[in-house]
C-alpha cells in the first residue's frame, strides 16, 4: 500500500514542474514577441523614408491583433469613449435625429427627428437638408462627420441652418444639446381582442422597468396574452436580461451562467423577484438579428417552457464581454466568458478561432451540435442561436426594393408627399392610393435612378459560360427567347405585384415616420406582419399553444 501512495505522490510532484514550465514558456513567448513588435516600430520610426503617425500605425496593429479573436472584442481609444458609452447606456448628448446622406446635393439630410427631442422642440423636420452647423459648411461632409458636429456636451447651444423643400430661404435654429435616451420600448399596444403587443427594441440600463410598465399597462387594458417582439434586438447588459426573464419566471430560477478562463468571471444568475405573471400565454418574435441578451431572454423562456418562440433562428452570440481600462483613458471591451442558458446549452454559432480562408468565422455543423432538454422535456440544441418553436422563413427582398429604399428619389417623393399633405390617417391605417403610387413611378422615371437587374447579370454570366464551353450556338434561340421574357424597364419592374407591394410598404413607413415618429413606424409595419399573424393564431388557439410547449412523443 505504501508503494502505491509513493507512486501517486511522485506523479503529483512530476506534474508541478511541467505546469510551471508551460507557464514559463508562455510568458517567454509573450515577452519575446512584444519586444520584437516594439523594436520593429522603433526602427520604422527611425529609418523609414516617411514619417509615421504613432496613433494610426499602432491602432492598425491593435486592430489586426483583435481580428484574431472575435468581433465583439474592441479597443476604444479616448476619442471613441462616447461611442462605447452610447452602446452600453443607450444615451448620447445631441439633438435626437436620424440623418442620412443625400447624394444629389452632396449633403446630409435629417430623416426622422426623435419624438420630444431638442430637434423637434427647435422646429427641425424630417427632410431638412443640413447646410451648416455653427457657420461651418457641411457640404461634402459624411454622415459620420455631420453626426460628430451635431453631438457635443449636454447643455451646449449651437446654430443649425437647413434648407427645407418648398421654403425659399434657408432656416436657422438655435438648439441646445441634451442627453438623448433611445427608448428601449418605442411602442406597445393592443393588437387583437385580448392580446397585447410590446416592441422591445434594445437592452439598455433600466430597460426591464420599461418592459414591466408595458406589461402592467397592457394587462390593465385587458390583455390575456402577450406578444413580445425582439426582432432586431442586439442585446445589452446581462443584468437586464435576468430582470426581463423574471417577469414571467418564478423567483429562484436559473436564467444564465457564465464560464471563462478565470474563475473570477464565472457566475450564475437567478431570478430574484416575484414575477408579474407565470400563467399568461406569451409568444416571442425573433429573427437573425436577435442577439446576446435578447437570446438569453428568449432562450431562458424556451428552456423553462414559458413562451412559444416564433420567427427565424437567432444570431447566435454566446459570448460575454466586460469593459477593461487601458492606459491614456481608453477602454477594451473584451470577451471573457461564454454564457449558458438553463438547459445547459451555449448558443454561440460561430468559431472565431478557426477562420475560413476568406477570414470569415466558421459556423458549427449541425452534426456537431448537442441535444439538451427544457424543463418539460422538450429537445433543444446548442451551437446555433435559438431555434424557434415555430420557424417562419422570411420573404426574399427584390433587388429593386433595396435600391429604391436607399435612393434619393425615395426621399424626394416622401418630401413631396409631406409638403402636400398636412395630415394623414393614423399609423396602422395609412396607405398610399394607386394614384399616389403612379405619381411615385412617374417621379422615378423622370429621375436619374438606375439599378442593375440581378437577372440580367446572371443571364450575361450564363451566356458567357455557354460561349466558353461552346454550347451557346446550339441554344441561341432559347437564350434569346428567355432574354426577351426577362426584358423590362424600371417602370415595368416597379409595377410587378411583389415589387409594388414591398415598395409601397417602404414608402408608407417613411411617410408615417414624418408624422408619428418611431412608434408610428412600428404600428404601420405590423399591418402586414406575417410573424405577428402567426403569433396571434397561436395565442388564440389554446390547444395549439399548449401542445407547442409539450415534448414531442417519439
* Distant-in-sequence, close-in-space partners of 458: CB < 8 Å, separation ≥ 6: none
What pLDDT was estimated at residue 109? 97
Per-residue pLDDT of the chain (554 residues; tens, 9 = 90+): 444 333 333 334 344 455 566 677 888 899 999 999 999 999 999 999 999 898 889 889 998 898 888 888 999 888 778 777 777 666 788 999 999 999 999 999 999 999 999 999 999 999 999 999 999 999 999 999 999 999 988 999 999 999 998 899 999 999 999 998 889 999 999 999 999 999 999 998 899 999 999 999 999 999 999 999 999 999 988 999 999 999 999 999 999 999 999 999 999 999 999 999 999 999 999 999 999 999 999 999 999 999 999 999 999 999 888 889 999 888 999 999 999 999 999 988 877 766 666 666 677 777 788 999 999 999 999 988 999 999 999 888 888 898 999 999 999 999 999 999 999 999 999 999 999 999 999 999 999 888 777 777 787 888 888 888 888 888 888 877 877 776 667 888 899 899 999 999 999 999 999 999 999 999 999 999 999 999 999 999 999 999 999 887 65
Residue 259 DSSP symbol: E
* Distant-in-sequence, close-in-space partners of 472: CB < 8 Å, separation ≥ 6: 463, 466, 479
Choosing from 125, 141, 254, 317, which is the catalytic residue?
317
End-to-end CA distance of the chain: 52
* Distant-in-sequence, close-in-space partners of 88: CB < 8 Å, separation ≥ 6: 204, 205, 236, 237, 323
- Joined grid coordinates for residue 455: 437577372
What pLDDT was estimated at residue 480? 79
Q: Is the dihedral of CA 474, 477, 483, 485 positive or negative?
A: negative
Burial of 500 (0-12, 13-18, 19+ CB in 10 A): middle
Q: Return the number of other C-beta atoms located less than 10 Å from residue 214's C-beta.
A: 23
Burial of 274 (0-12, 13-18, 19+ CB in 10 A): exposed
| Cα–Cα nearest to 380, from 347, 339, 338 | 347
The per-residue DSSP string of 268-308 comes to EEE--S--S-SSS-EEEEE-TT--THHHHHHHHHHHTT-SE
Cα maximum dimension of the chain: 102
> Catalytic: 292?
yes
d(CA 4, CA 6): 5
d(CA 343, CA 350): 20
CA dihedral 439, 443, 444, 445 (to 10 degrees): 100
What pLDDT was estimated at residue 354? 67
Judge contact between 205 and 152, C-beta under 8 A: no
d(CA 113, CA 121): 10
Choosing from 208, 292, 331, 337, which is the catalytic residue?
292
Residues constituting the chain: 554
Choosing from 70, 128, 229, 303, which is the catalytic residue?
303
**CA contacts within 13 A on the Cβ side of 107:** 20
Q: Nearest 5°: phi and psi at 431?
A: -155, 150
Each as own residue / partner, the long-range contacts of residues 508-512 (CB below 8 Å, 24 or more positions apart, any chain) are 508/430, 508/431, 508/432, 510/410, 510/414, 511/414, 511/417, 511/418, 511/424, 511/430, 511/432, 512/424, 512/427, 512/430
What pLDDT was estimated at residue 68? 84
* 3-class secondary structure per residue, 503-531: HHHHHHHHHHHHHHHHHHHHHHHHHHCHH
Judge contact between 495 and 438, C-beta under 8 A: no
Residue 371 DSSP SS3: strand
d(CA 401, CA 498): 10
> Catalytic: 317?
yes
d(CA 521, CA 114): 12
d(CA 529, CA 531): 6
Amino acid at each position: 500500500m505504501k508503494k502505491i501512495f509513493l507512486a501517486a505522490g511522485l506523479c503529483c510532484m512530476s506534474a508541478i514542474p511541467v505546469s510551471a514550465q508551460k507557464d514559463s514558456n508562455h510568458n517567454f513567448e509573450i515577452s519575446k514577441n512584444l519586444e520584437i513588435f516594439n523594436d520593429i516600430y522603433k526602427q520604422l520610426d527611425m529609418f523609414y523614408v516617411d514619417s509615421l503617425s504613432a496613433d494610426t500605425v499602432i491602432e492598425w496593429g491593435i486592430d489586426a491583433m483583435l481580428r484574431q479573436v472575435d468581433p465583439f472584442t474592441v479597443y476604444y481609444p479616448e476619442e471613441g469613449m462616447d461611442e462605447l458609452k452610447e452602446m452600453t447606456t443607450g444615451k448620447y448628448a445631441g439633438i435626437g435625429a436620424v440623418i442620412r446622406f443625400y447624394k444629389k446635393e452632396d449633403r446630409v439630410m435629417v430623416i426622422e427627428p426623435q419624438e420630444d427631442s431638442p430637434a423637434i422642440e427647435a422646429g427641425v423636420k424630417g427632410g431638412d437638408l443640413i447646410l451648416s452647423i455653427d457657420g461651418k459648411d457641411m457640404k461634402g461632409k459624411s454622415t459620420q462627420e455631420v453626426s460628430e458636429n451635431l453631438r457635443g456636451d449636454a447643455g451646449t447651444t449651437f446654430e443649425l441652418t437647413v434648407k427645407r423643400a418648398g421654403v425659399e430661404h434657408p432656416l436657422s435654429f438655435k438648439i441646445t444639446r441634451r442627453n438623448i435616451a433611445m427608448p428601449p420600448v418605442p411602442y406597445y399596444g393592443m393588437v387583437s381582442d385580448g392580446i397585447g403587443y410590446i416592441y422591445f427594441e434594445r437592452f439598455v440600463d433600466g430597460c426591464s422597468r420599461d418592459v414591466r410598465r408595458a406589461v402592467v399597462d397592457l394587462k390593465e387594458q385587458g390583455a390575456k396574452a402577450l406578444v413580445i417582439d425582439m426582432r432586431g434586438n442586439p442585446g445589452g447588459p446581462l443584468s437586464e436580461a435576468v430582470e426581463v426573464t423574471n417577469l414571467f419566471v418564478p423567483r429562484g430560477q436559473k436564467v444564465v451562467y457564465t464560464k471563462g478562463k478565470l474563475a473570477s468571471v464565472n457566475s450564475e444568475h437567478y431570478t430574484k423577484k416575484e414575477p408579474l405573471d407565470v400563467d399568461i400565454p406569451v409568444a416571442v418574435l425573433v429573427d437573425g438579428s436577435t442577439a446576446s441578451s435578447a437570446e438569453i431572454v428568449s432562450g431562458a423562456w424556451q428552456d423553462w417552457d414559458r413562451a412559444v418562440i416564433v420567427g427565424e433562428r437567432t444570431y447566435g452570440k454566446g459570448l460575454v464581454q466586460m469593459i477593461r481600462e487601458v492606459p491614456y483613458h481608453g477602454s477594451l471591451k473584451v470577451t471573457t466568458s461564454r454564457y449558458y442558458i438553463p438547459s445547459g446549452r451555449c448558443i454561440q454559432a460561430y468559431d472565431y478561432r478557426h477562420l475560413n480562408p476568406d477570414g470569415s468565422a466558421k459556423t458549427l455543423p449541425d452534426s456537431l451540435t448537442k441535444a439538451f432538454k427544457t424543463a418539460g422535456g422538450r429537445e433543444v440544441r446548442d451551437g446555433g442561436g435559438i431555434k424557434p418553436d415555430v420557424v417562419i422563413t422570411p420573404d426574399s427582398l427584390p433587388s429593386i426594393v433595396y435600391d429604391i429604399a436607399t435612393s434619393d428619389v425615395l426621399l424626394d417623393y416622401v418630401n413631396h408627399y409631406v409638403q402636400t399633405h398636412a395630415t394623414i390617417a393614423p399609423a396602422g391605417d395609412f396607405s398610399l392610393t394607386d394614384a399616389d403610387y403612379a405619381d411615385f413611378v412617374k417621379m422615378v422615371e423622370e429621375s436619374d435612378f438606375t439599378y442593375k437587374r440581378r437577372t440580367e447579370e446572371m443571364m450575361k454570366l450564363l451566356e458567357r459560360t455557354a460561349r466558353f464551353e461552346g454550347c451557346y450556338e446550339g441554344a441561341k434561340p432559347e437564350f434569346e427567347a428567355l432574354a426577351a421574357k426577362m426584358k423590362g424597364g424600371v417602370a415595368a419592374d416597379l409595377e410587378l405585384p411583389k415589387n409594388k407591394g414591398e415598395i409601397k410598404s417602404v414608402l408608407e413607413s417613411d411617410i408615417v415616420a414624418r408624422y408619428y415618429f418611431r412608434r408610428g413606424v412600428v404600428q404601420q409595419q405590423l399591418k402586414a406582419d406575417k410573424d405577428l399573424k402567426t403569433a396571434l393564431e397561436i395565442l388564440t388557439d389554446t390547444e395549439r399553444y399548449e401542445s407547442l410547449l409539450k415534448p414531442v412523443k417519439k
